Amino acid sequence: MKNPLFGAECNFSVSNAGSAKAIELGDLPTWKLEDLYPSATSDAFKADMAKAEKDSLAFEAKWKGKLSDAATKKGADGIGQALKEYEALDDIVGRLGSFAGLTYFSDTSSPANGKLYGDVQAKITDFSGHLLFFALELNRIDDAVIDACMKNDPDAGHYRPWLVDLRKDKPYQLDDRLEQLFLEKSMTSAAAFNRLFDETMAELRFEVDGEMLSIEVTLNMLQDRDPEVRRKGAMALAKTFKDNLRIFTLITNTLAKDKDISDRWRGFDDIADSRHLANRVERDVVDALAAAVRDAYPRLSHRYYAMKAKWLGMDQMEFWDRNAPLPETSNTVISWTEAKDTVLSAYCNFAPEMAAIAKRFFDEEWIDAPVRPGKAPGAFAHPTVPSAHPYVLVNYLGKPRDVMTLAHELGHGVHQVLAGGQGALMCQTPLTLAETASVFGEMLTFRALLDKTRDKRERKAMLAQKVEDMINTVVRQIAFYEFERKVHTARKEGELTAEQIGELWLSVQAESLGPAIRISEGYETYWTYIPHFIHSPFYVYAYAFGDCLVNSLYAVYQKADQGFQDKYFELLKAGGTKHHSELLKPFGLDATDPSFWSKGLSMIEGLIDELEALDKG
């Protein structure tokens, strides 16, 4: 198919993975934060800081105590105008926060970056204090008055999804002074311990054969072909985690207690209800997902790891063998250029528009790829604000999984670009659906590579890697969710020791991994490095939600004659304006249907069946 957006065929020039040119990683890009601001000392940055402060004070003076009256008016004096001004402030404050945050995550070990991040967060908290009244006061207006306002004032009507969504928070709102206290104290409570975690993790070093390594490099050893290298990496991780257990235990206890206090004051019944509310998903839907995955452990992870142990010539794998490559797996390092072309080709074959957006991340320097000291570990896509553009962070080491991570984060990036059209207040997608485009991007990339593979051994290695990634996304994340539930429940009864937390960790890991993996000494400390437990409690089920959803969505795509891409782009463009039930309805999918999750899990089971058939054949 001709691709007018690229002016070329959709099939990018993907080089042979076995070629000599693919041995080196190549030039890895760093992101260009100048698109936000030239620097923290630039006139533009200083001007926006001053403008945010001035405008937030002016907004408070203009609208506080007057929204009930404004709800009966239109035009310059109406709620619609207030919402426009509020959204403009949200965009500028978000731009400032994004610049400080991305600068910080570029090198969390830099004192200057840490100071910038802390200072900007403090100023944003001050600005937010002047804007806090807005949502609280809106929710005190009678629903019938707001409904009439949205009907009679076109400007207010534009923000209907945001206003309707806001009402869901009404039962959990506190009075204005308490909300102000919660906001201001956040800088010295949760936010402070989040920063402590990030800076501690960035500073950790892991000794392997006399060399001090960062966490990304050491974790990467767990995917090495040599079992002794994997063992050394695992032991180095365990030792450093153990040496720092005291601080991670303090952080975990403090944040769990902080959340418990907030939940009690706000009146949440269940420890995860605040996350469900933020995700705009019902508790029984998440409970059904978790139950379906737990019931599937024997058919998925237990069965697969038993097969893998046999392939590796082991009766039982050690915990550090979980992500070991199969003997059939190519040992070639995948260059950055090849990874880029692989992902863009897969995206383009699905929809040229999707590849065109993803290509901008490479062409316009929106990606930070190299591993370096102090850089935040892992990977993420940060949306910034609609007036700017998203950024992607990866730690690229040339592994096949790194290519899939790139496909995943670019999926987020494409989603964020498309949803940006909804504006600053309505572009944010709930976490449960925020994983849709990322996991779908991974699936497109995997299927494109698998379709080109004719060699039986190579196909087996690719299928195995995909199954492992899906198990990591579904089984492992639900196990994480169960671990968080146990930790937060136990914390209600008193402070937890590192040993108690480790025991809870091992209990869920043993249940999810199954008997084919030996959980030996050292693994009890591995809960310490998972950032989601710190930054976003109970976030992790969103990955399983997204993977199962995409499995069902991809099955629809495979059977669709035409029109799927258009419906898919409408889903992404919706941002936070629609509930998951509305977004999935055009595809004939319903997450409240108990069989929905079984359908998603059956795709993973089907891939394991194919692997088993290949092994017997």
For residue 391, list its beta bridge partners: 382
Computed over every residue of the chain, the mean pLDDT equals 92
Question: Which segment, 50-59, 457-466, 533-542, 573-582, is predicted with the most confidence on average?
Answer: 50-59
Examine the domain organization and report whether 428 and 571 are in the same domain: yes
Proportion of the chain above pLDDT 70, given as a percent? 96
Find, among 116, 89, 146, the residue nearest to 33 by Cα.
116
What is the predicted pLDDT for the residue at 19? Answer: 38
Question: How long is the chain?
Answer: 617
SS3 label, residue 211: strand
The residue written with tokens 């962070």 in the block is 393
Distance from C-alpha of 427 to C-alpha of 391, rounded to nearest angstrom: 16
Phi, psi at 333, each rounded to 5°: -75, 130
Mean pLDDT check: name the lowest of 170-179, 395-404, 579-588, 590-599. Answer: 590-599
12 located within any domain: no
Q: What DSSP designation does 298 have?
A: I
Examine the domain organization and report whether 318 and 335 are in the same domain: no
Find, among 307, 335, 344, the residue nearest to 463 by Cα.
307
Q: What Cα–Cα distance (Å) separates residue 1 from each residue in 15, 352, 355, 356, 566?
A: 20, 9, 13, 14, 17
- As a whole number, mean pLDDT of residues 265-286 equals 94
8 located within any domain: no
The residue written with tokens 């995943």 in the block is 408
Distance from C-alpha of 283 to C-alpha of 281, rounded to nearest angstrom: 7
| CATH number assigned to the domain comprising residue 366 | 1.10.1370.40
601 CB-near residues (< 8 Å, 6+ apart): 292, 293, 296, 299, 300, 474, 548, 551
Distance from C-alpha of 254 to C-alpha of 537, rounded to nearest angstrom: 13
- As a whole number, mean pLDDT of residues 222-238 equals 96
Under the banding of pLDDT at 50, 70 and 90, the label for residue 18 is very low
Query: In this structure, are strands 391-393 and 380-382 parallel, antiparallel, or unpaired?
Result: antiparallel
User: Using alpha carbons only, what angle is made at residue 106 by residues 105 and 110, rounded to the nearest 5 degrees?
Assistant: 85
Find, among 137, 126, 110, 105, the residue nearest to 49 by Cα.
126
Q: Is pLDDT of 327 > 50?
A: yes
Examine the domain organization and report whether 135 and 226 are in the same domain: no
Phi, psi at 381, each rounded to 5°: -120, 125
* Residue 349 CB-half CA count within 13 A: 17
Mean pLDDT check: name the lowest of 208-212, 242-246, 326-330, 537-541. Answer: 326-330
Examine the domain organization and report whether 153 and 224 are in the same domain: no
CB 428 within 8 A of CB 161: no
605 located within any domain: no
Distance from C-alpha of 202 to C-alpha of 611, rounded to nearest angstrom: 38
- As a whole number, mean pLDDT of residues 531-535 equals 94
Name which residue leads in pLDDT, 102 or 434.
102
- The domain tally of the chain equals 3
| pLDDT per residue as tens digits for the range 75-90 | 999 999 999 999 999 9
Distance from C-alpha of 381 to C-alpha of 171, rounded to nearest angstrom: 32
* Dihedral angle sign, alpha carbons of residues 343, 469, 436, 33: negative
CB 610 within 8 A of CB 603: no
Examine the domain organization and report whether 446 and 487 are in the same domain: no
Distance from C-alpha of 273 to C-alpha of 402, rounded to nearest angstrom: 33
Examine the domain organization and report whether 130 and 93 are in the same domain: yes
Examine the domain organization and report whether 409 and 550 are in the same domain: yes
Examine the domain organization and report whether 118 and 212 are in the same domain: no
| CATH number assigned to the domain comprising residue 50 | 1.20.140.70
Distance of CA 240 to the CA centre of its chain: 26
Element (H, E) at 122: helix 111-138
51 located within any domain: yes
- As a whole number, mean pLDDT of residues 336-360 equals 96
Final residue belonging to a domain, choices 141, 158, 188: 188
- As a whole number, mean pLDDT of residues 143-153 equals 95
Name which residue leads in pLDDT, 455 or 415.
415
- As a whole number, mean pLDDT of residues 191-220 equals 93
Distance from C-alpha of 280 to C-alpha of 223, rounded to nearest angstrom: 36
| pLDDT per residue as tens digits for the range 413-439 | 999 999 999 999 999 988 778 889 999
441 located within any domain: yes
CB 542 within 8 A of CB 431: yes
Distance from C-alpha of 352 to C-alpha of 260, rounded to nearest angstrom: 47
Examine the domain organization and report whether 528 and 590 are in the same domain: no
569 located within any domain: yes
610 located within any domain: no
What is the predicted pLDDT for the residue at 615? Answer: 77
276 located within any domain: no
Under the banding of pLDDT at 50, 70 and 90, the label for residue 617 is low
CB 43 within 8 A of CB 115: no
* Residue 489 CB-half CA count within 13 A: 10
Amino acid at position 512, single letter? S
What is the predicted pLDDT for the residue at 28? Answer: 96
Distance from C-alpha of 103 to C-alpha of 339, rounded to nearest angstrom: 25
Final residue belonging to a domain, choices 188, 222, 257: 188
Examine the domain organization and report whether 550 and 410 are in the same domain: yes
Residue ranges making up the domain that contains 410: 21-30+331-471+546-596
| pLDDT per residue as tens digits for the range 365-385 | 999 999 998 999 889 999 999
Query: In this structure, are strands 517-518 and 317-318 parallel, antiparallel, or unpaired?
Result: parallel
CB-count exposure of residue 177 (10 Å: 0-12, 13-18, 19+): exposed
Tell me the whole-structure pTM to 2 decimals: 0.84
Examine the domain organization and report whether 500 and 438 are in the same domain: no
Q: Is pLDDT of 162 > 60?
A: yes
Joined together, the tokens standing for residue 70 give: 């404004």
- In angstroms, the first-to-last Cα distance of the chain is 36
107 CB-near residues (< 8 Å, 6+ apart): 113, 372, 373, 374, 375
Q: Is pLDDT of 23 > 70?
A: no
Mean pLDDT check: name the lowest of 216-230, 506-520, 593-607. Answer: 593-607
Joined together, the tokens standing for residue 19 give: 């070629």
Final residue belonging to a domain, choices 535, 560, 585: 535
Examine the domain organization and report whether 429 and 572 are in the same domain: yes
| pLDDT per residue as tens digits for the range 279-312 | 889 999 999 999 999 999 999 999 999 999 999 9
| pLDDT per residue as tens digits for the range 469-510 | 999 999 999 999 999 999 999 999 999 999 999 999 999 999
Joined together, the tokens standing for residue 375 give: 């850089």
531 CB-near residues (< 8 Å, 6+ apart): 197, 198, 201, 377, 378
